[in-house]
Amino acid sequence: MIKKPSMLEPPCLRSSELSAGDLKKLTTLLQQGRQLSLAGVDGVSLPLPEPLVNFLQHVVQLVQQGRTVNLIPEDETLTTQAAADFLGMSRQFFVNLIEDGAIAFHMVGNHRRVHFKDLLDYQQHRDKARRQGLDKLFDKLAASGLYDAEMD
């Protein structure tokens, strides 16, 4: 029976839970480029679609690096503290963002809640804006000749 995860205990995989040998075998199997399938105890075999194989490759790579992998559905709701922690900012700064309309939220009683998908959308938009700002700065430096200038 599969236990239904909660936001407090999302399903996770730690490198300490798998041996290095098992991880190496998984990596080799996933990189062979052959059609993989999932076999049940009753002998029924189901081919795994390529996106799922790619996802498993990514998870195995992260675990090999000693990182813990958590699985969070897009529609999971987070507290303002959990959302701020995810984005790497203070809770108060995050609350200011949602009150300014930068991130969608909804109320549960007197508490603000945010969908994980909305956090991902904000993060992507923020990162794109940062990249564009850095690109503009680089273009200005390059145009002025300061990018390759010798610093004394």
Side chain identity, residue 97: L
Q: Is pLDDT above 50 for 1?
A: no
Q: Is pLDDT above 70 for 149?
A: no
pLDDT of amino acid 151: 62
Mean confidence (pLDDT) of the chain: 85
pLDDT digits (tens, 9 = 90+) for 36-88: 888 888 989 999 898 988 888 888 888 888 888 888 888 999 999 999 999 99
Plot region of 109 (φ>0 → left; ψ -120 to 50 → alpha; else → beta): left
pLDDT of amino acid 8: 47
Distances (CA, A) of 23 to 52, 98, 118, 134: 17, 41, 33, 38
